[in-house]
């Protein structure tokens, strides 16, 4: 049987999705349910003096209102890690007092029998404020900037090696520029939504979340109840991109509201509400300085980022982190500062850090290449990092040179005349640009369960979730190969916090984290089958060595003589077993601090830890020596743009990505992920950007008519290629993550192509036509 991993298998949930049978969080209708609608603040800072609810209460169907005046008390959240439950605004637990820290903050939940009644009643709530002076703009408040101690997950954000300032002084060629990016919003198709129902002291929650396990722990910790009293389900999720990684006020408020009215409550955010209470990508100012020899060898890199955070939590947009290892350079200084503003807390957004950071650095590299009169690809090859010079370690696997070569071929780089504004096609100016893509290859501890039934079917269970990326499908493929079953015989069950804990869907880590756990659980089942068969007088495999036995096509048989064996159905039925099951935990992390501590007794993870001690797949995986390596994915982005010289409109005509992401699990889904990232990048480069009213800090572009995202008419010819070489150290499967790297590099590549086409360098995103005049 040939392996199904790597094959372009169709999405196993595709049919359910296109027929509307895949149920999203807002599509549950518990009996006696009421609809909740949020009332949002309309000032950027101050205090609520009074909430007048008399008119709202007279609306037919009115069921209740919750505000700081009558809401239950919350406990301070215990965790600051999305996988364990990270509340987005730890210093602003919702509706605990009358403070307002931003425009669009949730200040009341109005409940009624129908959605329309609730929405109407919410519109009648009258709020009086005492307004205070707010900090509303990043540039206006730059004097208040400070250096945060650490970034996401406690990571280092101030990095230096050598002496970048001194090296810059003595460099033959110097370059320095500032790049700015606006606020971007995730705009997942599915809005944040929660359905909460209390059954006695137990809480059932359907939530649009990138972490059912984290959401469960967080709710328990904030509500002050035991985790085993809470169950969170998210069977299908319509995109997250980071916005559903942290937990926002809407989720816990739904649970609080359901308790207050003693009825199930459904609360979905309106698109407009998602612009203030569900995160965003921080606005950034990046100052980049490069020093090089006249032959193009980098001698110094400085990358200083200032971004915005809120007054109620701290989030660092880690734009410079990749700069510390992307090129070979002896003197590097990476720094990050924050300015607190009266806005909600920013959060990870597809490739947090790298998406904006590779824009700044890779445009700067292009500018340096022009200054040196050198080909931009050549400049990158001269400064190619053979090792991770930040960590002083080898890369687990890196094939970036091949990415550059293949990408250049695919776009026709050799035909490019490097002179700006020198190439034309009909009326259009033609530009070619390129950039390096990179994103860390994260992996963290995960558990999974595999069950083989006597009818030859199998089920896999893991409390991770498919946020739309194809996790159900690739995990089915991984399980199929390990269990020796066709994909049709396997059902992967995810998105339920009662299953063994899997990774949160953040940091592109699910494939690398959950895949090995599922494989190990499946191998655990196979191990049990082998033992059973060799001990069974009636089995054709009786007395053979387990090491000589393999599985394929639903059969257990000798490796060298496939006819000698039997089907799983025969074996289990003869043994009188309904099922054989195994549970496994792979406690491997590519980051410090992310290995998990021992599980609590009686939980599925504790069982998984026990069984894993004798699971050969877990043992091999956990005993792989990863200390000498760092784990990163790389790629090359090449684009061709057409610019109308009269209207200054930019059309990306062709975009090529060549990605080195380890082994490709499913070619169709992998291409889909990279294309999605590239399309996100087209939006970042050319059209997206959230505008705030400078007077009152209110989001102006708060819907998809004002906030432009790319549509089909904006699409170029997209070409995605993979190196497809398994990473020998990340896991036995060899696949690294893929959800985020597609957006890295592309923004710079577009920008560089626009410069090549027009001779005009725009250092402020997005590159709208007014900036090209």
Q: Which residue is nearest to ligand MOS (CB)?
A: 242
The interface region with ligand MOS, picked from 177-185, 348-356, 409-417, 721-729 by CB under 6 A, is: 348-356
Q: What is the rounded CA–CA span in Å between residue 509 and residue 221?
A: 25
> What's the closest the beta carbon of residue 227 comes to ligand MOS, in angstroms?
23
Measured from the CB atom, the residue of 210 and 511 that comes closer to ligand MOS is: 210
The interface region with ligand MOS, picked from 70-78, 201-209, 343-351, 647-655 by CB under 6 A, is: 343-351
List the Cα angle 82/65/71 in 5-degree steps.
55
> What's the closest the beta carbon of residue 526 comes to ligand MOS, in angstroms?
33
Q: Does 586 bind ligand MOS (CB under 6 A)?
A: no
Q: Does 507 bind ligand MOS (CB under 6 A)?
A: yes
Within 10 Å of residue 16's Cβ, how many Cβ atoms? 15
Residues 525-554 that bind ligand MOS (CB under 6 A): none
Q: Does 468 bind ligand MOS (CB under 6 A)?
A: no
Report which of 84, 17, 10, 28 is spatially closest to residue 468, judged by C-alpha positions: 17
Residue selected from 231, 350, 380, 626 as contacting ligand MOS according to rule CB under 6 A: 350
Q: Does 245 bind ligand MOS (CB under 6 A)?
A: yes
Q: What is the rounded CA–CA span in Å between residue 682 and residue 743?
A: 9
Q: What are phi and psi of 389, to 5 degrees?
A: -75, -15
> What's the closest the beta carbon of residue 505 comes to ligand MOS, in angstroms?
6
The interface region with ligand MOS, picked from 239-247, 470-478, 488-496, 611-619 by CB under 6 A, is: 239-247
The interface region with ligand MOS, picked from 40-48, 349-357, 398-406, 669-677 by CB under 6 A, is: 349-357
Q: What is the rounded CA–CA span in Å between residue 309 and residue 151?
A: 12
Q: Are 587 and 595 in contact (CB under 8 A)?
A: yes
The 8-class DSSP code of residue 684 comes to: H
| Among 197, 308, 317, 740, the one annotated catalytic | 740
Tell me the two tokens of residue 771. 């900036």
Q: What is the rounded CA–CA span in Å between residue 626 and residue 209?
A: 31
The interface region with ligand MOS, picked from 98-106, 240-248, 259-267, 286-294 by CB under 6 A, is: 240-248
Measured from the CB atom, the residue of 121 and 510 that comes closer to ligand MOS is: 510
Tell me the two tokens of residue 110. 């109005």
Measured from the CB atom, the residue of 350 and 756 that comes closer to ligand MOS is: 350
The 8-class DSSP code of residue 4 comes to: -
Q: What is the rounded CA–CA span in Å between residue 332 and residue 757?
A: 32
> What's the closest the beta carbon of residue 156 comes to ligand MOS, in angstroms?
18
Measured from the CB atom, the residue of 428 and 631 that comes closer to ligand MOS is: 631
> What's the closest the beta carbon of residue 773 comes to ligand MOS, in angstroms?
34
Biggest alpha carbon–alpha carbon distance for the chain: 84
Q: Does 469 bind ligand MOS (CB under 6 A)?
A: no
State the number of CA atoms in the 13 A half-sphere of 300 facing the CB: 20
Query: Would you give the end-to-end CA distance of the chain in angstroms?
Result: 61
Measured from the CB atom, the residue of 240 and 565 that comes closer to ligand MOS is: 240
Residue selected from 506, 524, 554, 716 as contacting ligand MOS according to rule CB under 6 A: 506
Residues 611-670 that bind ligand MOS (CB under 6 A): none
661: helix, strand or coil: coil
Residue selected from 242, 291, 440, 516 as contacting ligand MOS according to rule CB under 6 A: 242
Measured from the CB atom, the residue of 67 and 349 that comes closer to ligand MOS is: 349
Beta strands of 475-514 (E only): which ranges? 490-493
Instruction: List the helix and strand counts (H, then E) for the chain.
Output: 17, 30
Within 10 Å of residue 394's Cβ, how many Cβ atoms? 14
Report which of 624, 625, 626, 656 is spatially closest to residue 639, judged by C-alpha positions: 656
The site map against ligand MOS for 167-206 (x = CB under 6 A) is: ----------------------------------------
Residue selected from 331, 349, 469, 497 as contacting ligand MOS according to rule CB under 6 A: 349
> What b/e sequence results for 129-164 when a residue is b if at least 16 CB atoms lie within 10 Å of its CB, and e otherwise?
beeeebbbbbeebeeebeebeebbbeeebebeebeb
Q: What is the rounded CA–CA span in Å between residue 393 and residue 535?
A: 48
The interface region with ligand MOS, picked from 6-14, 34-42, 344-352, 569-577 by CB under 6 A, is: 344-352
Tell me the two tokens of residue 416. 């490019």
**Catalytic: 740?**
yes
> What's the closest the beta carbon of residue 613 comes to ligand MOS, in angstroms?
32
The interface region with ligand MOS, picked from 154-162, 346-354, 388-396, 679-687 by CB under 6 A, is: 346-354
Residue selected from 117, 210, 215, 217 as contacting ligand MOS according to rule CB under 6 A: 210
> What b/e sequence results for 85-116 when a residue is b if at least 16 CB atoms lie within 10 Å of its CB, and e otherwise?
bbbbbbebbbbeebbbbbbbbbbbbbbbbeee
Within 10 Å of residue 224's Cβ, how many Cβ atoms? 10
Q: Are 301 and 323 in contact (CB under 8 A)?
A: yes
Measured from the CB atom, the residue of 348 and 681 that comes closer to ligand MOS is: 348
What is the total count of residues that contact ligand MOS (CB under 6 A)?
11
Residue selected from 6, 214, 352, 734 as contacting ligand MOS according to rule CB under 6 A: 352
Measured from the CB atom, the residue of 44 and 82 that comes closer to ligand MOS is: 82
The 8-class DSSP code of residue 53 comes to: -
> What's the closest the beta carbon of residue 210 comes to ligand MOS, in angstroms?
6
Which residue ranges make up the site for ligand MOS (CB under 6 A)? Answer: 210, 240-242, 245, 348-350, 352, 506-507
Catalytic positions are 740
């Amino acid at each position: 049987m040939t392996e199904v991993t790597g094959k372009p298998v169709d999405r196993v949930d595709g049919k359910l999705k296109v027929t509307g049978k895949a149920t999203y969080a807002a599509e549950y209708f518990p009996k006696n349910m009421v609809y909740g609608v949020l009332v949002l603040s309309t000032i950027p800072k101050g205090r609520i003096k009074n909430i007048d609810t008399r008119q709202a209460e007279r609306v037919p169907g009115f069921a209740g209102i919750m505000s700081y005046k009558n809401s239950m008390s919350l406990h301070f959240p215990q965790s600051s890690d999305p996988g364990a439950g990270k509340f987005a605004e730890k210093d602003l637990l919702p509706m605990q007092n009358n403070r307002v820290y931003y425009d669009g903050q949730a200040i009341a939940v109005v409940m009624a029998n129908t959605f329309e009644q609730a929405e109407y009643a919410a519109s009648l709530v009258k709020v009086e404020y005492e307004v205070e002076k707010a900090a509303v703009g990043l540039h206006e408040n730059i004097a208040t900037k400070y250096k945060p101690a650490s970034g996401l997950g406690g990571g280092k954000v101030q990095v230096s090696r050598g002496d970048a300032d001194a090296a810059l002084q003595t460099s033959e060629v110097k370059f320095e520029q500032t790049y700015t990016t606006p606020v971007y919003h995730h705009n997942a198709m599915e809005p944040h939504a929660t359905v909460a129902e209390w059954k006695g002291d137990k809480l059932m929650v359907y939530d649009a979340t990138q972490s059912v396990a984290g959401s469960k722990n967080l709710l328990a910790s904030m509500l002050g109840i035991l985790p085993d009293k809470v169950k969170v389900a998210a069977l299908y999720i319509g995109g997250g991109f980071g916005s559903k990684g942290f937990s926002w006020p809407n989720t816990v408020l739904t649970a609080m509201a359901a308790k207050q009215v003693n009825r199930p409550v459904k609360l979905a955010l309106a698109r407009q509400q998602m612009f203030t209470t569900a995160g965003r990508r921080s606005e950034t100012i990046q100052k980049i300085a490069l020093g090089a020899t006249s032959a193009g060898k980098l001698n110094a890199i400085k990358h200083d980022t200032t971004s915005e955070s809120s007054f109620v939590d701290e989030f660092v947009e880690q734009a410079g982190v990749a700069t510390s290892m992307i090129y070979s350079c002896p003197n590097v200084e990476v720094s990050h500062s924050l300015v607190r503003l009266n806005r909600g807390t920013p959060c990870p957004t597809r490739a947090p850090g790298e998406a904006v950071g590779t824009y700044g650095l890779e445009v700067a590299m292009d500018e340096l290449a022009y200054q040196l009169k050198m080909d931009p690809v050549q400049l990158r090859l001269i400064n190619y990092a053979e090792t991770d010079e930040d960590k002083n370690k080898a890369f687990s696997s890196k094939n970036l040179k091949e990415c550059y070569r293949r990408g250049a071929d695919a776009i026709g780089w050799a035909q490019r005349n490097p002179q700006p504004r020198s190439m034309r096609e009909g009326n259009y100016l033609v530009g070619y640009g390129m950039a390096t893509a990179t994103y860390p290859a994260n992996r963290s501890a995960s558990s999974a369960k595999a069950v083989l039934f006597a009818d030859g079917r199998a089920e896999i269970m893991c409390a991770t979730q498919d946020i739309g990326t194809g996790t159900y499908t690739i995990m089915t493929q991984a399980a199929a190969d390990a269990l020796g079953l066709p994909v049709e015989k396997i059902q992967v069950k995810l998105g339920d916090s009662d299953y063994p804990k899997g990774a949160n869907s953040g940091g592109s880590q699910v494939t690398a984290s959950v895949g090995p756990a599922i494989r190990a659980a499946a191998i655990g089942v196979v191990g049990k089958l082998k033992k059973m068969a060799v001990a069974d007088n009636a089995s054709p495999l009786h007395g053979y060595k387990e090491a000589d036995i393999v599985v394929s096509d639903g059969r257990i048989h000798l490796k060298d003589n496939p006819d000698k064996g039997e089907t799983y159905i025969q074996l289990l039925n003869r043994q009188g077993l309904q099922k054989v099951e195994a549970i496994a935990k792979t406690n491997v992390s590519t980051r410090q601090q992310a290995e998990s501590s021992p599980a609590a007794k009686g939980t599925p993870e504790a069982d998984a830890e026990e069984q894993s001690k004798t699971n050969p797949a877990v043992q091999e995986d956990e005993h792989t020596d990863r200390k000498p390596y760092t784990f990163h994915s790389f790629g090359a982005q090449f684009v061709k743009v057409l610019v109308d010289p009269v209207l200054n409109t930019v059309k990306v005509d062709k975009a090529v990505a060549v990605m080195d992401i380890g082994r490709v699990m499913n070619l169709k889904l992998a291409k889909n992920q990279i294309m999605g990232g590239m399309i996100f990048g087209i939006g970042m480069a050319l059209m997206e950007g959230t505008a705030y009213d400078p007077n009152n800090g209110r989001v102006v572009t708060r819907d998809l008519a004002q906030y432009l995202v790319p549509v089909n008419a904006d699409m170029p010819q997209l070409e995605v290629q993979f190196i497809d070489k398994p990473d020998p150290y990340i896991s036995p499967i060899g696949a690294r993550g893929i959800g985020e790297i597609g957006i890295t590099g592309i923004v710079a590549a577009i920008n560089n192509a626009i410069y090549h086409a027009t001779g005009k360098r725009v250092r402020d995103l997005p590159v709208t036509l007014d900036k090209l005049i």
